[in-house]
């Protein structure tokens, strides 16, 4: 009985993933495939009525990319190590949060040509995110 339930759950998850992929507009899929032709393990989510996000892997690194419903690339986020942050960002973060337990760090490249860095840390039972410019200035 447990095998039947497990099999049904696996099939349901696969169907939901396939459904999300099929609901992604063709313009978005085309723009994504052009920008990231070597992406693997691509999964799509609808962020809101006008935005789609692809989670994927490329050369062993986890990424996400956001697109408007018309296929306009908005931003790409990639996972990086804390030590790969610009020194100014590390200094600013460490000064503000000297004993922080960093959960995840990401580099964000926007369609406006900006590069930002996101640092997530555990604060009690919740996760808190901090966003920085390359010069170490925290973005509110």
Domain residue limits, the chain: 1-73, 81-140
Q: pLDDT tens for residues 5-44? A: 434 443 444 444 444 445 999 999 999 999 999 999 999 9
Residue 123: pLDDT band (50, 70, 90) is: confident
Percent of the chain with pLDDT over 90: 77
Give the closest residue to 51 by CA, choosing from 26, 24, 32: 24
pLDDT at 94: 95
Listed range (12-16, 55-59, 108-112) with the worst mean pLDDT: 12-16
Residue 99: pLDDT band (50, 70, 90) is: confident
Q: Which residues of 25-62 are buried (b: 16+ CB within 10 A; e: fewer)?
A: eeebbebbeeebeebeebebeeeeeeebbbebebeeee
CATH topology agreement for domains 1-73 and 81-140: yes
d(CA 110, CA 114): 5
| Contact criterion met (CB below 8 Å) for 132 and 119 | yes
pTM confidence score: 0.78
Q: What fold is seen in the domain 81-140?
A: Nuclear Transport Factor 2; Chain: A, (3.10.450)
Which CATH number is 1-73's, of 3.10.450.360, 1.10.10.10, 3.30.70.20, 3.90.800.10?
3.10.450.360
Residues 6+ apart with CB under 8 A from 132: 89, 92, 93, 116, 117, 118, 119, 138, 139
Residues 6+ apart with CB under 8 A from 51: 66, 67, 68, 69, 74
């Amino acid at each position: 009985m447990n095998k039947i339930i497990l099999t049904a759950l696996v099939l349901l998850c696969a169907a939901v993933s396939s459904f999300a992929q099929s609901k992604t507009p063709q313009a978005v899929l085309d723009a994504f495939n052009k920008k990231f032709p070597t992406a693997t393990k691509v999964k799509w989510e609808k962020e809101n009525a006008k935005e789609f996000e692809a989670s994927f892997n490329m050369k062993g690194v986890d990424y996400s990319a956001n697109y408007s419903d018309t296929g306009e690339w908005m931003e790409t986020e990639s996972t990086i190590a804390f030590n790969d942050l610009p020194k100014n960002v590390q200094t600013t973060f460490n000064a503000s949060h000297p004993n922080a337990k960093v959960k995840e760090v990401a580099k964000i490249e926007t369609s406006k040509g900006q590069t930002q860095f996101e640092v997530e840390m555990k604060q009690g039972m919740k996760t808190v995110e901090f966003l920085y410019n390359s010069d170490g200035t925290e973005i509110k």
